[in-house]
Structure 1
Amino acid sequence: MPVLAETWLRKATQVSDGQHSEAALLFQQIRTKRLYEPLTTGLPIEVKFEEYGRGIFAKEDFSGGQMVWREVPIISAQTSISLKAPACSQCARSLLTAIDYFGDDVLRSMKPAERRVVAKYWPQVSIIECPKCQREKYCSEDCLKAAWYQHHQVLCPKKNKAAVELYDFCDKGELCTEGYWSAPFSPMSVARIWAAVIADVRRAVKQAREDGADTDEPTVEMWAHAKAPYRRFIAYGKAGHAEWAHKMVDLMNRVFNNFPDGINYKIDNREFEGRYYQVACNCQSFSDPLTPYRRFLSRMKVDSNSKHVVPYMASIGEPKEAVFGGLFALHACLNHSCDNDVEILDCDVGGFPGIGVRARRKIAAGQELFSTYIDTRTPRAERRAWLFRAYNFWCQCRRCQFEGDGPEECSHCGIKPEQGKYFLGCANCKRAWYCTPKCQKIAWKKGHKRICKTKHSDVVSSVEEPVREQIRKLADLFYKEMPKHLSKPSESK
């Protein structure tokens, strides 16, 4: 029924030449309900399409600090700059071993009791490589099979010779290479979308043959069905990026447009930019919140001998995290506010790394939830300029309304001071400037009071207690019992 309704409403919009706004809005509302209602079943949120677009709304009241929902990505890839940190290529679980962290030399230098602490409390890590290419590592047979089913059957360098060049480029860990790439997320994030589409079409063709079809040619419907999960992710960006990254476009086309079975995906400039901006606009970074290192810190506390391992850890420091970029179906529906009422955290979701969306303050039922796309500590002018370039909107949130751009203009009335003079700023937040105490009082009552007292928010944080704090507690425990003639090692940077 919803699909039939969408068809007629789309026709109504076309017949009216886009002038019938009610039909267009109703079409989007029905489509949004069809796409997202199955994803929000059992959750205290709903996705609605209103006058200014899609958004997530609370179905019940939330208190500050309450977890609203948790989510795993529909597709993800490890960032190129963190590839040296071992992790499961499919689920993002950390594969850090004790040898990876301490190193053979340090482990050999430890006393037997210290080595026993490491052996006893460092979690067992299972590492399984792709048996064909040995270029992907997984935490389990299940993840290996899931990756092969979803995308790796298309991207495996053993089966796809053109993919060798793509893997080699990603292994370099370069964020900006003229002609190829310019983004913090990995090219593999985009490649896995095309690979997943091809893999889905292959399965559909195989099923059709088993059902009696007399051709191996995929239908338009098969391609549409395979692409459907990724239509949820809105893309916006400046045209012409594909021309700048022309070498990567050519490489991707060689990777996905060369299969002997004829199920190929042509990657031209338009297709490349569409998928690139889908990932650029919706990609959320996340990491394993329960790494072997963190679990080791938690477990070793119960052993009195653990205090002797702490100096080694203090010298080595925290291990580099494996950071992934993922597309999350519900998270992508969150709109932005510099005065965001929810925050995104690394989170364990049913035993797998993912994200959690947590309320920062009280949220009433029916209220739209807002995340932030940027570190809100950034000055207002820079925030708004970046958001306009990246997402094509001029932020009008409460924080942007009641902060200013500098002492050269009153943040309330907009008047400018005499040449060579400047207005005084808010003594508390130092982010708003006023020409008179009257303007300051008016702005305070209208909304600056709320903004002035609201803490700024990072784009991402961890749901776990910070690792640095845990290791400091262990270090303090050790130094209290340490003989006075031994010196305290310097704190690692």
Structure 2
Amino acid sequence: MTANGDVEVKQSRIPGAGKGLFARKTFSPGDIVVAVDRPLVAELEIDRMLDTCAWCFQRAATNPTERSMAVSMGLPNGSTDIKNCTGCQRVGYCSKSCQSKAWKREHKHECKIISVKDRPDLPPGVRGAIKILGRLKADPKTEITHVHDILNLWPAGDPNGLNEIGAQDKKRLDDLHLLGQAAWHYCGKQNIDGLDPQSISIRLLSNIMTNTFILSSPLDDINLGIGFDPLICSANHSCDPNASMAFNQPRHEIRALRTIKAGEEILIKYVEVTNPFNVRQAELKESYFFNCQCTKCAKGASLPADGFLERPNDLENEYHKLADKLVDQYESRLSKFVIPGNDAKAQRRVAAMHAKACAVLESGQATLDEVKEAIKMCIGSKMWRWTRQPVPLLCRRLLTLYLESGSIYQAFRLGVKLHFEILPALYSQEFYPDRLVNAWAVSTFINVLCGPANQELYQELAQGGLDLRLIYFGFLFYVHDHTPQMFGFDTPVGKVINSTYRQIMAGVSIPEADIRQRIETIWPSLEAVAHNVTISSL
């Protein structure tokens, strides 16, 4: 059941903004504010088109090590198989049901277009626009409403919107025109009831690509594709959001992070809001073409997210030399990371180190050692604390690489550090998606460590006072307690969590209350493990 009748779209109160999404009733933390069964546009990234279902976005693990690990953890991607569409061989589906739903709604409008031999894979935005145009041509009376809903958004919904993009980033505007024309070309350049589909195509593509959100599975940290929906995309950004988006494959929701009163504007995040002020501002300007004026940004670069442990001009000699080399290497990117200070050269040095770390993050090919070195550079320089970006994001990437390489004990230790020391400092809500996903990952790591292949390690930890089976219950309870507030138990991730909880508890003779009491006694020892994870022990 959706809650869309409890919100309305009207003029935002944010200076310079257009429409916004507003609550028509009071929402409590965890309440569903908006829900759509599937975003109007949901497109896989090109490198995910053959290992992820193009309808529900369930991914199949194709790497043998990852697949084996996923099976041992009870994760869906360990048993999911993707079969290619026999028509185009360009996209796949996890079931006949998903294939049928996709064909009826959209794939029939693109199958022949993308099946052309030697035609390169089309970008997600182009495929989305092709499907919208195809649906409009097939059923103009029904689909014209969707088209108008899309075109009413910024930038095409503003007479000067596209010109504003061109003034700030001419290449971006040229790319939008080129991709829009490509979608029109691939659709056959045909008119639709006297409308100009070329103009519509460019405007559709511009609005879709300027308002997209990332689609990723709650069970891993892999970017699966992009989503766009006029209602969801009516929500404006704040670096101190009162709501969060959750992708439940294929259902998409906005849930309240805190109490939202009737008449209050619903605000979500467009970028990582735990980044420093300058980084947030630069990313919003680059991707969404506005300067954020939210309550958090009004404080400028004065929050803990912007501060360093030491003064940049006190950088030790070893890192001083490294930073000087990085300044030359990342000269074109430094403005995004520089925090104004008395010593401009010192600020540029730490900015260069930040740029280097972010380059590692942005690289899809970064190795485990490269990510570890980036963390060691930040922490070892004594500039960064573990809770200052980009260290937390690097830690999450490292955890994923540990999992992929089968280094489960290392993943467990790092996951514990994230759970106790890093994530609570970034996200205050215990049901925040990042905290839930990490806790679930740690529980699956522990489950593996309790297996017969790790008995020696299990005994060693037990002798040190760490009962892994009891710790497993601690993380399982944490996730099960808070899942209803962010995902619900009727979602793919919720079903996995609830099924695991019920299965485990069915085999336990000790009352749950007693187990929870025992967990409280061992938790301080586990927290000590988190604090003992240092750069030398990564």
Q: TM-score, normalised by structure 1?
A: 0.54
- Alignment pair present for 1:74 and 2:74: no
Q: Partners of 1:137 and 1:91 in 2: how far apart?
A: 11
Superposition map of 1:158-197 within 5 A: 160=113, 164=117, 168-170=120-122, 187-197=123-133
Aligned match of 2:441 in 445, 450, 468?
468
Aligned match of 1:356 in 229, 253, 270?
253
Superposition map of 1:319-334 within 5 A: 321=222, 323-334=224-235
Q: Partners of 2:450 and 2:43 in 1: how far apart?
A: 39
The superposition leaves residues 357-416 of structure 1 with CA deviations (integer Å, 9 ceiling, x where unpaired) of 2322233333222111111222223322433444343322111112337899xxxxxxx9
Letter in 1 for 2:11: F
Aligned match of 2:280 in 379, 383, 387?
383
Aligned-pair CA distance for 1:189 = 2.8
Residue of structure 2 equivalent to 1:402: 299
- Alignment pair present for 1:87 and 2:49: no
The superposition leaves residues 294-342 of structure 1 with CA deviations (integer Å, 9 ceiling, x where unpaired) of 6xxxxxxxxxxxxxxxxxxxxxxx7x84612111232211111111111
Specify the SS of the correspondent of 2:127: helix
How many residues in Structure 1 have an aligned counterpart in Structure 2? Answer: 340
Q: Partners of 2:217 and 2:342 in 1: how far apart?
A: 54
Superposition map of 1:247-326 within 5 A: 248=179, 251-257=182-188, 273-289=202-218, 321=222, 323-326=224-227
Aligned-pair CA distance for 1:48 = 3.0
Runs of at least 5 residues in structure 2 that lack an aligned partner in the other structure: 156-160, 312-339, 347-384, 390-423, 462-536
Residue of structure 2 equivalent to 1:143: 98
Q: Partners of 1:148 and 1:394 in 2: how far apart?
A: 41
Letter in 1 for 2:121: F
Q: Partners of 2:88 and 2:343 in 1: how far apart?
A: 68
Aligned match of 1:60 in 25, 29, 37?
25
Q: CA RMSD in A?
A: 5.1
Question: Any conservation in 2 of the 1:202–1:263 contact (CA below 8 Å)?
Answer: no
Residue of structure 2 equivalent to 1:228: 148
Residue of structure 1 equivalent to 2:366: none
Letter in 1 for 2:135: A
Which structure's CA Rg is the greater one?
Answer: 1
Runs of at least 5 residues in structure 1 that lack an aligned partner in the other structure: 1-37, 171-186, 205-220, 295-317, 409-415, 432-452
- Alignment pair present for 1:482 and 2:455: yes
Aligned-pair CA distance for 1:465 = 5.3
Which is bigger in relative contact order (C-alpha 8 A, separation at least 6)?
1
| Alpha-carbon spacing, 1:273–1:378, altered in 2? closer, same or farther (3 Å) | farther
Residue of structure 2 equivalent to 1:183: none
Letter in 2 for 1:60: K
Specify the SS of the correspondent of 1:386: helix
Specify the SS of the correspondent of 2:297: helix
Q: Partners of 1:381 and 1:122 in 2: how far apart?
A: 37
Superposition map of 1:198-217 within 5 A: 198-203=134-139
Aligned-pair CA distance for 1:258 = 5.4
Specify the SS of the correspondent of 2:450: helix
Letter in 1 for 2:208: V
| Alpha-carbon spacing, 1:57–1:243, altered in 2? closer, same or farther (3 Å) | closer
Superposition map of 1:431-470 within 5 A: 455=426, 461=434, 464=437, 466=439, 468-470=441-443
| Alpha-carbon spacing, 1:466–1:190, altered in 2? closer, same or farther (3 Å) | farther
Specify the SS of the correspondent of 2:21: strand
- Alignment pair present for 1:345 and 2:276: no
Residue of structure 1 equivalent to 2:533: none
The superposition leaves residues 4-39 of structure 1 with CA deviations (integer Å, 9 ceiling, x where unpaired) of xxxxxxxxxxxxxxxxxxxxxxxxxxxxxxxxxx98
Question: Any conservation in 2 of the 1:58–1:367 contact (CA below 8 Å)?
Answer: yes
Aligned-pair CA distance for 1:248 = 4.8
Q: TM-score, normalised by structure 2?
A: 0.50
Which structure is higher in helix share? 2
Question: Any conservation in 2 of the 1:197–1:226 contact (CA below 8 Å)?
Answer: no
Aligned-pair CA distance for 1:77 = 0.6
| Alpha-carbon spacing, 1:87–1:430, altered in 2? closer, same or farther (3 Å) | closer
| Alpha-carbon spacing, 1:356–1:243, altered in 2? closer, same or farther (3 Å) | closer
